[in-house]
Amino acid sequence: MAASKIAVFWNHPAGPKTIHFWAPTFKWGISIANVADFSKPPDKISYPQQIAVTATGLIWSRYSTVITPKNWNLFSVNVAMAATGLYQLSRKISQDYLSVPEAPLNKV
Partner 1 sequence: MAATLKAFWNSPVGPKTTHFWGPVANWGFVVAGLADTQKPTDMISENMTGAMCIYSLLFMRFAYMVKPRNYLLFGVHASNECVQLYQLQRWVNFRMSSHDCT
- Count of residues that bind partner 1 according to CB under 8 A: 31
Measured in residues, the chain has a length of 108
Q: Applying CB under 8 A, which part among 2-10, 12-20, 89-97, 98-106 lies near partner 1? A: 12-20
Q: Minimum Å distance from CB 19 to partner 1?
A: 5
* Residue 69 within binding range of partner 1, rule CB under 8 A: no
Assess contact for 63 and 81: CB atoms under 8 A.
no
Which helix (DSSP H) or strand (DSSP E) does residue 87 occupy?
A: helix 72-93
Q: Is 71 left (phi over 0), alpha (psi -120 to 50) or beta?
A: beta
- Give the one residue of 2, 4, 44, 108 binding partner 1; rule: CB under 8 A: 44
21 exposure class (CB count in 10 Å sphere: 0-12, 13-18, 19+)? middle
Give the footprint of partner 1 on this chain (CB under 8 A).
18-20, 22-24, 26-27, 29-30, 32-34, 36-37, 40, 44-46, 48-49, 51-53, 55-56, 59-60, 63, 66-67
